Every structure is written in C-alpha cells, then in structure tokens.
Amino acid sequence: MQSKYLAPLAAAVSLALIGTAQADERYIVAFKEGKGPQVKAAAQGLGGQVKLELKAQNALAMALPAQALKGLQNNPNVDFVEADVKRYPLAQTVPYGITMVQAPLVSDAFAANRTVCIIDSGYDNSHEDLSSNSVTGSSDPTGAGDWFDDTNHHGTHVAGTIAAYDNSVGVVGVNPHGTLKLHIVKVFDENGWAYSSSLVGALNKCVENGANVINMSLGGSLKSRTEDQAFTQAYNNGVLSVAAAGNDGNTRHSYPASYNSVISVAAIDQNKAHADFSQRTSQVELSAPGVSVLSTVPMGTALVASASVGSSDFEAIGMEGSPLGSPSGALADCGTGESTCDADQKICLIARGNISFADKVLACQNGGGLGAIIYNNEPGALNGTLGEVVTAIPSVGVTADDGALMLGQLGQSATVDIGQGNYAYYDGTSMATPHVAGVAALVWSHHDSCSAAEIRSALTATAEDLGVAGRDDSFGYGLVQAKAADDYLSANPCGSGSGGNGGNPGKGKGGKK
C-alpha cells in the first residue's frame, strides 16, 4: 500500500558518487556567490540544460548528462550538487483494514442515529482527520485529564479507525463522513493504565451519553465481578460492548473482552493470518485487522519514514523511539547486526532476527553508520520498536521483499528519512477492536430497530470463516464483514423470526456458521 505518509524520497547525490549517475537526470547545482554565469556556461558547454534558476539560493536546476556531472565535480565555482529529488502530491489513503471489513460497501449516511463511545486515552479534536466529527466527551473523575488531550496517543489512533474523515488527506475510517456520533471517555493518561472502577465509571458515562456501541481497546488478565455485572446490565439495556482479546499471544482470557456480554476481538494481518500476539481463547468472537494499522495520532507526534536506494524508493516504517533525521550514504550489508558493522559514514542494511531491533541499530551506530534499514524475515511490513534504548541514528523497517531488492543495490547511495507526521502504524488487538465497533455501528445504522443482541448475532453469522471450519479460538467466527451483515439483516429483518437470535451467540460453543 503506497501512502503519502510514506512519501518516497530520492537519495541525495554526493560528489563522490556523481560519476555513477545516469545521463540527463535532474540535479540542483549550487554555485558560489557571483559565479552563476560561469557555472551555467560550463554546464551548458557539456550538454547540460537549465530547467529553473533559483537566484535567491544561488542555484540552478539542470538536466545533466554524465560528462557534465564529472566536469562540475571539480569545478571550483561549484558549492555542491545534489539530486533534484521528486515530491509527490499529498493524497488520502484507505488503510487495508477498512477495505477488508467491507466498510466502503456500506453507506454511513444514516450513522447519525448511532453513537460509539470510545473508552481510551482521549481524542485529538484538532486533528485534520477528526475535527469534523460530531464528538463529545467526558473525563475520568480520578484524574486522567481532559478527554481532548491525548498524551498517550492510543485513543486518537482508535478513533481514526472508527471515524477518520473522508476529506482528501490522511486516512479514512469505517464511518468516514462525519455522520456517526462519538463520545470520548478518557481513563488513560501517559502512564497507560486505569483501575477497573474507572472502567465501570466510564461505562456509566457512555450509557448516560446515549452510546449504542462501546469500544474498549484495553484489558487485563483478572476478572472483576463489578465489571461483569455492569457490562451485563448495559448489554441487557441495549448497549453493544466490544473489547480487545489481548496481546500476550497465549490462551489466557483478557477482561472485559471475555465477559459473555462483550464481543472479544482477535487480530489478523494483511493476509488474513492470525497475528502471533493475539490471544486465543474460547471467548474470541470476531477477528479484524490489527497488524500495521495506519490511523490518526495527535498532530505532529508520529514518525513519518521513507527509504531510498539509488533511484528506487521504498515504503518504510520508522522504528518506535527512533530520532528524526535524513542521513545519506553508501548502502552496506550488516547481516543480522549481531556484531559491530564496518559502516563508517554508511547506511546499514540489517536482517531481522536473533537479537532486538535496538541492538541491531546500536551495532550500526557503533560501527560509524549514519542510519539503519532493517528488513523483515517474514511477509508483511516491519513495524518495530527500540523499547527504552536511546539511539543516535534514524532507523526504519521495510518488507522482506524490499530488503532482498536492496541487497542487490549494495554500495549505491541510500537515504533514511524520518520526520514528524500525523499518522502512525500500530499493531495490536487494540487496533482490531475499532474495526468491529465501527462496523457494528455502521450496520446498525441501517437497521435501527434491531437490538444489540440481534446486531451481534448478524455480525457473527456473516463473518468470513478463517482457520478451521466453524468457530475456533484463534479467529472466533471469523473476519467481520459489514456488507454481508447488512445484506443478511435486509433479507432477515429483526423481529421477523428469521433474523438475529436475540441472545448471546454462544461464545466458545464451537458451532459452525
């Protein structure tokens, strides 16, 4: 998936590498004060063509054949020469998960009759993709802060998946036209945790503010009797709660997802494979995309990354915790980065595996490297973290396929670029959950006479079966499908006796769809 947020950047050409450049490519030639006419004449005499004069910058944009580059390399009137790199229009992208759950196939024109309550870390109301939504909010009385101040970033990412606005920039959500009502309840601050009593208090706030669907991209391993009773009461009163199955990659239950009154959501990747971190339990009910999910984060807090080698541009994801920067240098193969790499003034190409991402970056840094590109050892994007380790050089992740291509370009000029942005890739069942919550609200908006139980039953009845036939502990009933559920309820209206069963769909019963 190509995205403007991973805007490709061509590598700058150093004078040492000018001789290898292809003929008649575009370059910017910066000249010393007052030496423009001499440089222009020299370049034109060698076949160069002036494309643009940048008088304020003492520079010329030129198409230069190889002989002109060689001539300029040693010209005493030239300050520097660099590639006239390409820039691309900023355009909106549709994250893969939005299409995978069939959201674009169902109109959100009626979504004003639904309210999704997001219990999380807050919501950046100034965000370019969220400010047009119909949104209200509450803050946890125990002191998490204002609901519109998201210092944790998690809640804003969740909100974007549900309702990022279709406005020609950024991303789009499951409900992209600002019709869906949102209510935000903040329970997390930068510490990233809250008490179960705060969650119950947040649930009460959601109910008081008319929530039909509650999104909880959160959880913990211990039950709470108070929570269980509260969510059961909300469900019986017509509120559909959706929660993350958990990210520990084991078979333990996570709560509130594992209460019978709550839909538990597992995570899958771009290939509809079960995410290795997603917990597998008898309570898992539905699956949704939760790997490398692109969504909104508070303005200016994201890492926007790109990589290029030679004339090739590659999509990249900045390592969480990476410093900003845009270094260039020859590309060097550093293997798996398990020892210090001889990479003085170079960009390190490193394979994933065996040691932490932070140790790989440090091996590059300690060898004099200027930046690190780590390529995956399995299909899909590489969205890594440096944890608590502080590094001095920018680092990004790329796919295994792109890593293989780069291995064929060793020695060429490479650039790693990391800057600030407004969108980020996150992994987790937390990212899968808002796909389901958003779809539930979208489908329900077309069938507003249905009960919460009937909507829930329709979602499970029409999910795309994944894994073994029928319900299983990894995928539940399968991948949530908005269009299929909408069609199902149109053919089997609620209250007709042939639609939803009106009760618990039988979490963990293992029945076939």
Residues 225 and 308 in one domain: no
Q: How far apart (Å, rounded) are the C-alpha atoms in residues 227 and 225?
A: 5
In a domain, 507, yes or no: no
Which CATH number do you get for residue 261? 3.40.50.200
Burial class (CB in 10 A: 0-12, 13-18, 19+), 141: exposed
In a domain, 91, yes or no: no
Encode pLDDT of 213-251 as tens digits.
999 999 999 999 999 999 999 999 999 999 999 999 999
Residue 212 pLDDT greater than 70, yes or no:
yes
| Domain stop point among 391, 421, 451 | 421
| Domain stop point among 373, 389, 421 | 421
In a domain, 503, yes or no: no
Encode pLDDT of 128-156 as tens digits.
999 999 999 987 666 788 999 998 999 99
- pLDDT at site 302: 86
Encode pLDDT of 50-98 as tens digits.
988 888 889 898 999 988 888 887 899 999 988 876 654 556 889 999 9
The whole-number average pLDDT for the span 482-498 is 90
Residues 144 and 259 in one domain: yes
Query: 378 near 357, Cβ under 8 Å?
Result: no
| Domain stop point among 370, 401, 421 | 421
Residues 275 and 130 in one domain: yes
**DSSP letters for 278-341:** S---TTEEEEEE-SSEEEE-STT-EEEEEEEETTEEEE-EEPBTPPPB--EEEEEE-TT--S--
Residues 412 and 449 in one domain: no
Q: At what angle do helices 196-208 and 225-236 cross, to 10 degrees?
A: 20
Tell me the two tokens of residue 376.
Answer: 């995956």
Q: How far apart (Å, rounded) are the C-alpha atoms in residues 193 and 200?
A: 14
pLDDT band for position 165 (50/70/90)?
Answer: very high
Strand pairing category for 395-398 and 302-309: unpaired
Residues 362 and 323 in one domain: yes
Q: How far apart (Å, rounded) are the C-alpha atoms in residues 50 and 367?
A: 41
- pLDDT at site 99: 97
**Between residues 502 and 511, the one the model is more confident about:** 502
**Between residues 507 and 157, the one the model is more confident about:** 157
Active site residue 326: no
Strand pairing category for 413-421 and 284-289: unpaired
Catalytic residue among 120, 140, 166, 269: 120
Residues 224 and 351 in one domain: no
Q: How far apart (Å, rounded) are the C-alpha atoms in residues 472 and 485?
A: 20
Catalytic residue among 287, 308, 322, 430: 430
Query: What are the angstrom distances between the C-alpha of 335 and each of 339, 363, 364, 372?
Result: 9, 11, 11, 12
Q: How far apart (Å, rounded) are the C-alpha atoms in residues 229 and 225?
A: 6
Residues 215 and 330 in one domain: no
Burial 242-264 (b: 16+ CB within 10 A, else e): bbbbbbeeeeebbbbbbbebbbb
The whole-number average pLDDT for the span 251-273 is 97
Nearest to 194 by CA among 246, 247, 141: 141
Catalytic residue among 108, 129, 139, 154: 154
In a domain, 244, yes or no: yes
Domain tally, the chain: 3
Least confident of 85-94, 460-469, 495-504: 495-504
Residues 124 and 267 in one domain: yes
Residues 153 and 248 in one domain: yes
Encode pLDDT of 297-329 as tens digits.
999 988 889 999 998 899 999 999 999 999 999
Cβ–Cβ contacts within 10 Å for residue 420, how many?
11
Encode pLDDT of 399-429 as tens digits.
999 999 999 999 999 999 998 889 998 999 9
Domain that holds residue 74: 4-83
Active site residue 120: yes
Residues 404 and 480 in one domain: no
Which CATH number do you get for residue 9? 3.30.70.80
Residues 176 and 307 in one domain: no
pLDDT band for position 511 (50/70/90)?
Answer: very low
Which CATH number do you get for residue 308? 3.50.30.30
Place of tokens 């494309």: 51
pTM: 0.76
Strand pairing category for 134-139 and 240-244: unpaired
- pLDDT at site 7: 22
Residues 127 and 265 in one domain: yes
In a domain, 508, yes or no: no
In a domain, 509, yes or no: no
In a domain, 276, yes or no: yes
In a domain, 79, yes or no: yes
Q: How far apart (Å, rounded) are the C-alpha atoms in residues 342 and 17?
A: 20
Active site residue 430: yes
Whole-number average pLDDT of the chain: 89
Q: How far apart (Å, rounded) are the C-alpha atoms in residues 172 and 132?
A: 12
Q: Give me the count of residues in the chain.
A: 513
